[in-house]
Every structure is written in C-alpha cells, then in structure tokens.
Structure 1
Amino acid sequence: MKKTDLLRAFNVNIDLAVEAHELLRGDADTEVPGVSMEVDNLDHATVTTIKILNEQGVQEMGRPQGTYITIDVPEVHDNNYLTHQDITKTLSDELTELMSLSEDASILLVGLGNWNATPDALGPQVIDKSLVTRHLFNYTPVELQGKLRKVSAIAPGVLGITGIETAEIIRGIVEHVKPDLVIAIDALAAGSLERIGTSIQISDTGISPGSGVGNRRTGINEETLGCRVIAIGLPTVMNAAIIANNCLDSLLDELKTSPALFRLYKEFSPKVFEQILEKALYPYHNNLMVTPKEVDSLIQTTARIIAGALGMSLHPGISTEEYQMYMQ
C-alpha cells in the first residue's frame, strides 16, 4: 500500500513538512507546485528549508503558507558535549534569522504538552530549562544588563488536566502580557523511525497541538493570538500503523525477488493490505503510538539543546559560555 493511501485510510497525520514534501515528490515523481526546497549540509546537521509559496502549495502540502525549517541532527544521540553545542548554535542561528526581532522585543515562550507523559513532556521541560527575564528585567546582574530581552514563559498543560483549551489560556496571557512574539514548543509525531528525536522543525506558521496523535486542538497562530507565532517541534513518537506498513512493504519486496513466491506477491492488493493492518492493529486502529525506550533521556537532551538555542537567539548579548551558566 502506498504511504499516502495508508495515511488516508488510517487518518494518520504527518507533522514534519519535510516528510510531507518527500512523500508528495515520491508519489508524483516531480517537484511539488507552489513549494520550494533548499538543503544546506553542515558539519553536524542537515538544514532543509521548505517554503510554501502560494495557495496551490497550501493545497498540495495541507498546511499553512510559510517557512518550515527542519534541522536533522542524528548525532544528537551521541553523548558528546561539543557536538550538542554545535547543534545548539545551528538551531540558534536558524531561529535568529526566522524571528528577526528588534532589540527591545518581548517574547512569550509556551511549552505545550503533558508533563506527566514523558513523550509529550518536551515543551514543559524546555520551559523548565529556559532563561526567563521579564520579572527580573530591572534587577539582572550587572554583567548582563543591556544584553537581555524580556522573556516570559508558561507551560499551560493539556485540556485533560486543566479543563481549558490550551489556546484559550495562551490567548488570555497574550492579552495581558502583550508580547511581540510567541514561541510554542511541542512534541511531534514522525513519519519515519530515524527522525524520532533527531529532526527539529521550526516554522513561522504556528502550531495545532495534538495533531500528530489525532487529537487536534484549537490552533495557536497569529490569527488566534493576534501576534506572530514561531513553532518549534521535535518528533518523539510514531504511529504503529506506519511501522506495520513498512514491515509489509519489506515482506513484499522479498516476495518480488523470489520467482517461487512472485505469484503470491501478485495476489496482494491495497484492500488486502488494509485488512491485514486492521487485524494487526486491532483494537487501536490509528490510536497506537510508539516511542523509544530511552525517550526520557532523549527528551532531557533535546530540551536542553532547544532551551540553549532559545537563550542564545533571544539574548544575543550572552555568549555561549554565559548562556550555559544562566540556564535553569
């Protein structure tokens, strides 16, 4: 079964724009109209910039017009401080360019997700490690005066904990604090196993909490909040339907290469595929999400990298050594 057919049949969403773009290009074997792509290979990262340019691109990609930057960092799994520092600097540079902030801008950081569920705790953990300054802006250490922007932060929880739509909480805070920019951090769902914990996506189009796990909530974007919104996401889970489909695809590839089994291969059809997957995933259908065993360590590492990148990009007067010292 083609991956696009699988996603449609099982109502599975793809959070990463780069994966949606790869899927469309693969199925059509051509460039996606209304969409541009640029790839930059660095020492410890590959930076892919997808820009949805017009309404045709919006229809093809199924997401808002804007810029989506994916930073692939497979070495994030390595326990190497210098590598992590380089990844942090790369993310900081991309954020600085995308945000384009004035020196006196005020920023609200929003850590989306459920702090009680480790795969969904990225946002709250980033907030826990971030350098917030709004409450102390006039009382900062002498060596930091003139180097900071006003940054406030909130981890609002999820609807199941608060009974309040997350967008409503954030909108109320925005109306009172009046930030120039909101930066929302959230865990995403990957379309391939190798991207779990290794692909950081930033975009200027906002975010829809819970969309990757089929629990779409009210969007957090400029339209709903009245100010610019930058989204930062990291895949921490993957839908089991995609994994099961990949296993069947591998089996069929083996059948194709065997003359004795080629007749069996020809008997398979998309409908047979769907029936097999339905049985394998019963009773969860598209509601079974998979995450690595070491997800707690993965969340801690990536949360520190993202918090560090935010500190460096939001407070440009702070050096790399200083941001490490003042991080919570």
Structure 2
Amino acid sequence: MDTEQSFNTDLAIEAVEVKELLEATPRDEMSGVETTTSEEEGVTISRVSIKTPAAEKAMNKAMGNYVNIEAAGLRDKDTELQDRVTEIVARELKELAGFNDQMELLVVGLGNWNVTPDSIGPKVVEDLVITRHLLQLVPDRLGPGFRSMAGMAPGVMGITGMETAEIIKGVVEQLKPSMILAIDALSARNLDRLNTTVQIADNGISPGSGVGNKRMGINEQTMGVPVIAMGVPTVVDAVTIVSDVLSKFDGSSNNQQNQNTDYNKFRLINETLSPYGGASNKLMVTPKEVDSFADDISEVLAGSINAAVHPRVSEEGSHKYL
C-alpha cells in the first residue's frame, strides 16, 4: 500500500509512528531516521532527525530536524501549562534557529485569516514585538535587549491571486533578511494532537501540503536564506478518521499482512467522501471550539517567538508584551 495515500499529516513524529506501525519500511531507510522523546512536567518533547535521501522518501518528509512539543492540557485553558509550553517552545526554537544580535528576522504568518483553522499564522504576527522599523528610526527609544524582527501575513492565492512564496520572495529581495520564520496551521493524523502540538523544523515548509493543496515551497532553496518553520495542527483528514474507526471496529491492524485490505478500505472511503472533497480537495475536520483554540495557541506561539528572539522579553516575561 502507498502509505502516502493512506494517511495525511504534517507532523514528522506521526510519519515515524505510521511507518513503525506498518512494519513495511526497509531497515536501510529507517536507519536514516533518528528519534528521541523526553517528558517535562506534562509536556512531551519528540525530536526527529531525517538524515538521508532514502529516509526522506520513506517518511515523505524533507531531510532536516523536527521538534514536536505536545501537551494535551492545552485544550483545557490551563494558564500555568500554557506558560510552561511557551517557555519550552521558546527554548527549542532558540536552539534550532540559533538567533543572534546581528540577525535580521522576517516572520511570515501563512494562511487565510478569514478561515479560523487556517488563521494561526496571521494571528501570531499580530501579537509579535515587531522592531525592525524602530531599530532603524529610533533605536535609542527602544532600548537594549531587542533584535530586528519584521512581520508579514501575505494571505493565500485565493485572496491575492499570487503564489504566496512569490510574494515572500519579493519581500526578501527588498528587506534582505538573514533568516525567515514561517508559521502555518498544519494537519495531523491523530485527533488528540489537534491544537495540542507545536512543531518546529529547520528545513522550511510547503504550505497546504497536509490538506492536498501543496504550493511552492518556502525554504532555503527558494528564498536564498535559512527558513525555520513553526506550526500547530488544526485539522484532520476525514478519510483518515473513518478508516481508523473501521479498523478498530473490525479488529484489523495496519501491518504488512493487511496492507491490501487497508488500501481497499481507504480507497472506498475516499470515493464515498468524494462529493464532499475527494482526493484532490480533501474533506478536513476541525473541533467546534476551534475559535478559542486558535486564539489560545496563537498566544503561545507569539509569546514563545517574542521570548526566543528578544532577550529583554525573555527576562521580563512574554505575557507583558501580548
């Protein structure tokens, strides 16, 4: 069975989990994938490193390093947990990106601000401590402890009529940043990870890939500067949900012996749901509380970015600037 067809996820840790479940990936391909997991006071931190072209193909994920920070309690409006996750995300982002005082950072909030599950990127940009213009015009008034950060929310092709990556590239050519931080809503395979997991990656992002609407990549190859990607899953493919439920109901398992059965089941479900989306325009599911979730997780992301980029925000606390 083509595993790329059997599940849809932007999360590297889920790609690893599915490959291990299928028990169908050759050892030489999996040898190029390294994973570690740790726990910190109710927060699970998973690190996935994809090191070889064979592993990249097997995982259907670009080579690079991925960090997943997961806390189920984020759905419960636990402010102490939100603060703890903000600190952990800031620490992991700082470590992966290697921010310094000489950098010129451009933060790009990807997504459609008119569609709540896809509005994470623009919402985060609204809460950032943007400083590029102040450092250029009134640096003395800003004070120490702040680095150069610009932000933009370029929208989506359906609004602008332009490829998002082309808009960003035009801005990059004018601003000449030393690094891009791209933020986007993601898709997950597991419902438990919706609005509870933050993924950070050092290899850029392909907007819309998780919902079958892959656009031009935003990465170092296309932009000419390093691109760090951050995102939170807000949707799950309906076909995946139904397939998982049926597998549990009839007692089947996704191993090598049952791959043909699982593939036929997946294809039948996909055909049944085709009037509502189909293979080229997938039917995605999101929780009814998505408005509240989007606001809460956007604050966590914005707070972590502010703290990771600006030493003064880190010292004084990110909530002072939200």
Cα RMSD for the two superposed structures: 2.1
Shift of the 181–271 alpha-carbon distance from structure 1 to 2, 3 Å rule, reads: closer
Aligned residues: 309
> Which residue is 1:213 aligned to?
211
Q: Say whether 1:277 aligns with 2:272.
A: no
Q: Which residue does 1:242 correspond to in 2?
A: 240
SS at match of 1:317: helix
Q: Which amino acid aligns with 1:40?
A: S
C-alpha separation between the residues in 1 aligned to 2:266 and 2:9? 19
* Structure 1 position 316 matched with structure 2 position 311: yes
Q: 1:128 to 1:271 in 2, by over 3 A?
A: closer
**Whole-angstrom CA distance in 2 between matches of 1:320 and 1:96:** 14
Equivalent positions of 1:108-123 (< 5 A) are 108-123=106-121
1:78-103 alpha-carbon deviations (Å, 9 max, x no partner)? 22222111110000000010011222
Q: Which residue of 2 aligns with 1:85?
A: 83
Structure 1 pair 276–167 and aligned structure 2 pair: CA distance change class (3 A): closer
For 2:55 and 2:31, the matched residues in 1 are separated by 6
Which residue in the other structure is 1:19 paired with? 14
| Structure 2 counterparts to residues 63-74 of structure 1, below 5 A | 63-74=61-72
Compared CA separation, residues 174 and 278, structure 1 to 2 (3 A):
closer
2:138 is the counterpart of 1:139:
yes
Which stretch shifts more, 39-48 or 317-326?
Answer: 317-326
In structure 2, what residue type is equivalent to 1:273? K
Residues 1-328 of structure 1: matches in 2 within 5 Å? 5=2, 7-8=4-5, 13-28=8-23, 32-137=30-135, 138-139=137-138, 145-253=143-251, 269-270=261-262, 273-274=265-266, 276-278=268-270, 280-283=272-275, 284-286=277-279, 287-319=282-314, 321-327=316-322
Q: Deviations over 1:142-197 (max 9, x none)?
A: 5x512000000000000010011100110011111111110000001111110111
Instruction: Please state whether the residue corresponding to 2:251 is helix, strand or coil.
Output: helix
The whole-number CA distance in structure 1 between the counterparts of 2:39 and 2:123 is 29
SS in 2 for 1:131: coil
TM superposition outliers: structure 1 runs of 4+ over 6 Å = none
Structure 1 residues 93-124: Cα deviation after superposition (integer angstroms, max 9, x where no partner): 00010011222211000000000000000000
- What do the CA deviations read for 1:249-269 (whole angstroms, capped 9, x no partner)? 122029xxxxxxxxxxx9x94
Normalised to the residue count of structure 2, the TM-score between the two structures is 0.90
CA distance in 2, matches of 1:55, 1:38: 20
Match for residue 258 of structure 1? Answer: none
* 3-state SS of 2:312 partner: coil
Q: Assess if the C-alpha contact under 8 Å between 2:124 and 2:299 holds in 1.
A: yes
Larger radius of gyration: 1
Give, in angstroms, the shift of residue 59 of structure 1: 2.1
Compared CA separation, residues 274 and 162, structure 1 to 2 (3 A):
same
Q: Percent identity?
A: 39
State the TM-score, normalizing by the size of structure 1: 0.88
Alpha carbons of 1:26 and 1:315: their partners in 2 closer, same or farther (altered >3 Å)? Answer: same
User: 2:163 & 2:232 partners in 1: Cα distance?
Assistant: 22
| Separation (CA, whole Å) in 2 of partners of 1:163 and 1:275 | 33
* 1:33/1:60 contact within 8 Å kept: no
Alpha-carbon distance between aligned partners in 2 of 1:139 and 1:100, rounded to the nearest angstrom: 26
> What CA distance in whole angstroms lies between the structure 2 residues aligned with 1:269 and 1:181?
46
Name the CA distance, whole Å, in 1 between partners of 2:169 and 2:287: 34
Q: What amino acid is aligned across from residue 308 of structure 1 in structure 2?
A: G
